[in-house]
Chain A
Amino acid sequence: MARYLIVRLGLGLVTIAGVVLLTFVLQFSLPGDPARRIAGPRASPEVLATVRANLHLDDPVASQLVTYVSDVAQGDLGVSYIRRRPVIDLVKERLPATAVLAFGGLLVEVLLGGGLGLWDGLRRRRSRVLAAGNVVLLSIPTYSLGFLLLVVFAYRLDLLPLGGGTSLEELILPALTLGLFGVPYYAAVVSESTRTALASPYMRTAVAKGLPRRVILRRHVLRNCLSPVITLAGLDVAIYLSGVVFVESVFAWPGIGQLQEQAYNELDRPLLMGTVIIAAVVVVAFNLIADVVRVLVDPRARVEEAG
């Protein structure tokens, strides 16, 4: 177990290092002079030279890379061109809104997807309605789904606000958009593991023992579904926390995703690359966490990893 974790951690660090390297290359090939962006179009040559020196822009590429990597390793992702504040602070400011949205989306997909999957798995035959619904949901990209919900509920029926804030009412549609998109995956996975559990010898034993249905469901069926759901949820939380650009853009939700979109449109290099690095770190971290939790709740995984 410990060895497995160390290997995974090492691979994760290699991945993050790769992402950092990639962002460095991207920053380097971006058009425009960063010093001029910071100092403004009318800056004197002396000021430009000072800015260039501060940013180490005149150093050889190799030494710039070393500076960049060591800065990133210390959590310094640079200062936003437009907002003149450290990237880290800007992202931290937006984190609560994004976290609320992520939690809402996760709640929708786990409850709805899990419920549908369980219902489907307990049926004798697979539900065709669910299968068709899954295909339809898969086919609607998140931004399209957002627009559809927006047109129907906010515009036609006038039930919910169009967005632009973070109140509970304004959370419903974005969270639904985010969650509905994940529903097919959860439904499929839960239905599959329910079927596996029902077909297993220990299920026959449990029924033969005369355990009540409720206990069988909780102890044998639900527990069996836990591990794949945790794997899915771990990845989802990571993706949602690192900023859901489309949903936040459609509903004007003031989270990290919106910050990223603005960074793109304002050509704010450090902010854009900083969010990429943060996203990579979050994804790698949550994959690792999901792995650990999975091993903790599912004794079978421990055997697999040992062998």
Chain B
Amino acid sequence: MLLAVLAPLFGDPYATPVDGLTPQGLPLGVGSPGHLLGTDSLGRDMLARVAFGARASLEIAFISNITSVGLGVAVGLVAGFYRGWVEQLLMRITDVFLAVPTVISGLALASVLGTGVLGIATVVTALYWAWTARIVFGETLALRRRTFVEASVAMGAPGRTVIRRHILPNLASLIATLAAFNGAAVVAIGSGLSYLGAGIQPPQPEWGNMLAEGQGAIDYAPHLLIVPLLCVVLTVFGFVLIGEALSRRGAQSLQRSWLDI
């Protein structure tokens, strides 16, 4: 399973450089000599493209998973622990980010934030931090009422200490689960935006824009579509499996709409 996530990375150093100079007739199929996954319409090796595509896709996923979970946890914790106007302000902002369906706001944000790896990572972060924030907020509220937290507050421990010593350790397994499901969602939306033309732009291979290119070749070279498709699906599958395993330990149920894009 982990291999499914990391396999493209292992393939990376061996990948032949992208060779766009030798035009060939029809794209070669999967298993052709010298091109394990065939070639695309310009004669470029599919294995190399998928492997380099993995770099872009997984870079975006990695960055935005860390930033969105980090931001979500921070907002949820602060809002849940300090309550009052801080809670009102932060949770209303969270509501705003939860109100618009992911892809639509993704397109709107991408039109401003640009199409590089960092731009897309920022867009994806903006789209997903609120889910984590909402869940961490609820969990923090519940912890806040537990006796050991109340006791330590009553003893006059500063808020930062209480959060670090009592609340964060209790949230650790929840956060790990959230990060896994968030990872799945982030991979899916990152490539999805590229597929729509709002992500990494064509000369640079990325799973999503390879999908878009493959869509036109569905009649005569379906592997152009299927190869990047399997990459996306297997990667998401890997994250979901990790999440399922973690959630069975922590007994956290999956939130509807998390992966809904």
**A interface residues with partner B (beta carbon < 8 Å):** 11, 14-16, 18-19, 22-23, 26, 29-30, 135-136, 138-144, 147-148, 150-151, 155, 162, 181-182, 185, 188, 232, 235, 238-239, 242-246, 249-250, 257, 260-261, 263-265, 267, 269, 272-273, 275-276, 279-280, 283-284
| Contact (Cβ within 8 A) B104 A275 | yes
The residue in B95, B100, B112, B211 that gathers the most chain A C-beta atoms within 10 A of its C-beta is: B100
Stretch at the interface among B54-62, B65-73, B136-144, B252-260: B252-260
Residue of B nearest to A138 (CB): B240
Q: 6 closest A-B pairs (Cβ-Cβ)?
A: A18-B96, A141-B188, A139-B237, A245-B103, A264-B107, A15-B95
* B229 contacts A by Cβ under 8 Å: yes
* B175 contacts A by Cβ under 8 Å: no
23 examples of A-B residue contacts, CB within 8 angstroms: A15-B92, A18-B96, A26-B111, A26-B112, A30-B111, A30-B112, A139-B233, A139-B240, A141-B191, A147-B229, A162-B218, A185-B254, A232-B256, A238-B101, A242-B100, A243-B101, A245-B107, A269-B111, A276-B105, A279-B99, A279-B100, A279-B101, A283-B100
* B129 contacts A by Cβ under 8 Å: no
| Contact (Cβ within 8 A) A242 B104 | yes
Q: How far is the CA of A249 from the CA of B105 in the complex (A)?
A: 16
| Contact (Cβ within 8 A) B95 A140 | no
CB distance from A70 to the nearest CB of B (A): 20
With A15-B95, A185-B256 in contact, do A26 and B108 touch (Cβ < 8 Å)?
A: yes
Give chain B residues whose Cβ lies under 8 Å from the Cβ of A276: 100, 104-105, 108
| Contact (Cβ within 8 A) B218 A150 | yes
Q: How far is the CA of A185 from the CA of B260 in the complex (A)?
A: 10
Q: Interface residues of B, CB < 8 Å — how many? A: 47
Stretch at the interface among B7-15, B21-29, B153-161, B194-202: B194-202
With A155-B219, A155-B222 in contact, do A264 and B198 touch (Cβ < 8 Å)?
A: yes
Residue of A nearest to B184 (CB): A139
| Contact (Cβ within 8 A) A141 B99 | no
Q: How far is the CA of A29 from the CA of B229 in the complex (A)?
A: 34
Q: How far is the CA of A204 from the CA of B185 in the complex (A)?
A: 42
| Contact (Cβ within 8 A) A235 B257 | yes
The residue in B95, B99, B110, B191 that gathers the most chain A C-beta atoms within 10 A of its C-beta is: B99
Give chain B residues whose Cβ lies under 8 Å from the Cβ of A263: 107
Q: How far is the CA of A155 from the CA of B104 in the complex (A)?
A: 29
Q: How far is the CA of A272 from the CA of B111 in the complex (A)?
A: 9
Give chain A residues whose Cβ lies under 8 Å from the Cβ of B229: 144, 147-148
